[in-house]
Structure 1
Amino acid sequence: MRQQENKKENFRENPTKLTWIPKVYNYAERTGNLKAEAVGVVSGEKHFPVFEDRMVFKPLTKSKPFSTPLFACAEVFWSWVIDTYFVPAPLYQLAFCRGYEAECEKYYDYGTVSPMIYEEGEHLLNLLEFFRTYPDEKVQIDDYLNYCQMFYDYTEILEADYFQTHRGIAEDLAMQILISVLKGDQNYHYENIAFVCDASGQILRLAPMIDHEFSTCFMFPDNLSRHNYWFGELQRSIEGKPVQPDEYKDFPNEKERRLMEKSATCLHRNLVYIKEHYPEVTASFLKNVSRLKRDLLQKRESFFIRKAKDYPGHANSDAYRIGKARYKDHDEEKAAAFEKQYGGEGKEISFDLMNCLINYEVQEIIEQMERILR
């Protein structure tokens, strides 16, 4: 982590500006496809087009839960914030890939583009793959399930033998965990964290942070009450308020209910653990998050998300149900029913309102984290 911090000092004096001008590509002009098998609870293959300079187009997906154009805005916003204030991160940019939706129906032809995070001859190994290959009695990996809209306990991961004996990588992970709490990531699961390995399988480093789309501050722009509810759930998990008996009785599946009970308090547990075991990481995070809070107050417009030319400006947080029925469940009857119920482009996004919410909520989370970490 110290090496990453030293590298960043040169960038902090002259950070890049947050841009909302989309890049435009044509699918037919791709240099190749990123073929990556998603190894995890939900497996599958992704074939994202790659363009010159190893730039990967990441489309918005018709079946991804609660997806709206602000998922792409979250990727751009948080990659810039992380790279500017904390640690090196690949920068996302809004993008179109003309002809991609016609070729791959389950994807839109708009999304984001970002540089590939590993070099030729390297590959990724996520935490789930790692602990399946190298079991550790401290990590109950067989109990792991991948849910969006849930927070994850990383204390047992950091207690594992590998991280106990590789302090530098453990510090990098601790910083990533703190940043994930800051951005209110509701999908920061064990498959989102990966090692970069060489051809022989030797671990070289922790991969930089990617996948920022499930940031609480950017979710449900079409429904303020849902947005506020989930922001409250984020604050509650950071606070660590004990779960009351039968609080999650509406979850009939016992395993799922226990996971939700753990999610309701685990962010607080993560913060306290990192504060106690990684004081240098905590001090570095607090120093940089203080700068971020100051700039959010003094340079508000520098953080504003903008409506991009030709980019969709409406949100429908339930449209994914149609895509899920059609492309995952392969149930056209269900898809047709959801078309009637949830079809249409949705509600026009109020960027003025969202900018007020994002600025306010990020500051609220910073202050809440500061109270715990200090």
Structure 2
Amino acid sequence: MTTQKLNDIPEIFHYADRIGNLTAEAVGVVKGEKYFPVFDGRLVFKPLTKSKPLSTPLFAYAEVFWSWLINAYFMPTPQYRLAFCYGYEAETGKYYDYGTVSPVIYQEGEHLMNLLEFFRKYPDKKVHIDQYVNYCQMFYDYTEILEADYFQQHQEMAQELARQILISILKGDQNYHYENVAFVCDETGEILRVAPMIDHEFSTYFMFPDSFPEKMFWLGQLQRSIEGRPLQQDEFAQLENAEERKLMEKSAVCLHGNLLYIREHYPEVTTWFLEKLSVLEQDLNEQPELFHIEKSLGYPDCANSNAYLIGKARYKDHDEKMARYYEERYGGRGKEISFKVLNSQLLYDMKTIIRQIKKVLMEQGEKQC
């Protein structure tokens, strides 16, 4: 049981006061370099991006909420805070002045290597890395990753990855792809450890605050993938793109497969997670106020899940005509976020997902009794 309350008071920074810029070093399927300002204390400002799909201010609140919860109930992880970085939008155009701030996750002389980079450098016949696609609103199969020779030979790191996978399922991460999992390496490239969890913005519970039907649809997709309900024939036939259809079919059941694999191959991790989950569930029932998210003074409080199309057209596609079209169609502040509704729905949905996860992870033990 924790008595620590979620802290969501924003930090204030000025772009001119930065001590440097953090260049995003991770290689990904989607190309593009990012330069995030760094401030004293090795704090890096992560702005909300005008072109990131479906982004709303709740993406930042999700980072704060999950980093707090993971640290309080499961494992050490860098703590995000809401933040303003005044002058950044004027300098870059494609980023907002608001986002989050968190500590840099590696030390001087260290660097990150994500799973995509690793398996490109060290191919493994069990991992079909060339078939990997970074796709938003998708759940990912990690069983082939855990089957790779490296993780089979480094069980401590495999257990750490398994713990992170379980937590990603709990938070309904729709974008927990292979570029979000990384090793920390030294200057020679030797792997030192699995990097702590970051990037929590695509949490299902925090998405579509301006569209309840969309929110419930994607919550249903999360529940369905955890349950692993078999696919029906032509279930995703409405998707004309064959690659997208194949990805959705895999996403629809893969979380169940991840849970079953970890349950079978990592019983100690499974026991650890179930114990932590039970404490969390108890607090959700007995101290719900601990998890309430309060609107931060001055922080944007309106959501427009389609506004990113304007930024995508302007800053990624460099198509000003389409940007103006989207501005006419989706411009404006959007819908005001109700934090009362958010908190009520968040607690209910989390408790629902916890029950689902526990059912899958405990099913084998029940059958053996």
> Which interval holds the TM-score relative to the shorter structure?
over 0.9
Partner of 1:72: 60
**Alignment partner of 1:285 out of 270, 273, 276:** 273
Kept in 2: contact 1:31–1:51 (CA 8 A)? yes
Kept in 1: contact 2:26–2:114 (CA 8 A)? no
Distance 2:4 2:79 in 1: 10
1:246 aligned to 2:246?
no
1:175 aligned to 2:175?
no
1:227 aligned to 2:215?
yes
- SS of 1:45 mapped into structure 2: coil
Structure 2 residue runs of 5 or longer lacking an equivalent are 363-369
- SS of 1:60 mapped into structure 2: strand
**Alignment partner of 1:212 out of 200, 217, 236:** 200
Distance 2:285 2:303 in 1: 28
Give, as a single letter, the amino acid of the residue that structure 1 aligns with 2:270: T
Deviation at residue 122 of structure 1 after TM alignment: 0.3
4+ aligned runs moved over 6 Å, structure 1: none
**Alignment partner of 2:293 out of 287, 305, 326:** 305
Kept in 1: contact 2:4–2:290 (CA 8 A)? no
Kept in 2: contact 1:37–1:43 (CA 8 A)? no
Distance 2:167 2:24 in 1: 26
Distance 1:180 1:140 in 2: 22
Kept in 2: contact 1:38–1:45 (CA 8 A)? no
Kept in 2: contact 1:38–1:46 (CA 8 A)? no
Moved more, 342-351 or 36-45: 36-45
Identical aligned residues as a percent: 66
Give, as a single letter, the amino acid of the residue that structure 1 aligns with 2:28: G
**Alignment partner of 2:243 out of 249, 252, 255:** 255
Distance 2:320 2:167 in 1: 40
- SS of 1:118 mapped into structure 2: coil
1:361 aligned to 2:349?
yes
Distance 1:170 1:17 in 2: 31
Structure 1 residues 159-216: Cα deviation after superposition (integer angstroms, max 9, x where no partner): 0000000000000000000000000000000000000000000000000000000000
**Alignment partner of 1:115 out of 85, 90, 103:** 103
Correspondences of 1:146-161 after superposition (within 5 Å): 146-161=134-149
- TM-score norm. by structure 1 comes to 0.96
Partner of 2:114: 126
Kept in 1: contact 2:171–2:204 (CA 8 A)? yes
Partner of 1:39: 27
Partner of 1:191: 179
Structure 1 residues 31-88: Cα deviation after superposition (integer angstroms, max 9, x where no partner): 1100123411101111000001000000000000110000000000000110010011
**Alignment partner of 2:332 out of 322, 344, 358:** 344
Distance 1:351 1:165 in 2: 46
Give, as a single letter, the amino acid of the residue that structure 2 aligns with 1:99: G
Partner of 1:91: 79
Distance 1:372 1:64 in 2: 33
Structure 1 residue runs of 5 or longer lacking an equivalent are 1-11
- SS of 1:37 mapped into structure 2: coil
Deviation at residue 150 of structure 1 after TM alignment: 0.4
Kept in 1: contact 2:184–2:192 (CA 8 A)? yes
Structure 1 residues 78-108: Cα deviation after superposition (integer angstroms, max 9, x where no partner): 0011001001100000000010000011000
Distance 1:125 1:150 in 2: 22
Partner of 2:128: 140
Deviation at residue 17 of structure 1 after TM alignment: 2.9
Distance 1:108 1:348 in 2: 18
Give, as a single letter, the amino acid of the residue that structure 1 aligns with 2:34: K
1:166 aligned to 2:154?
yes
- SS of 1:53 mapped into structure 2: coil
Partner of 2:367: none
Distance 1:157 1:251 in 2: 27
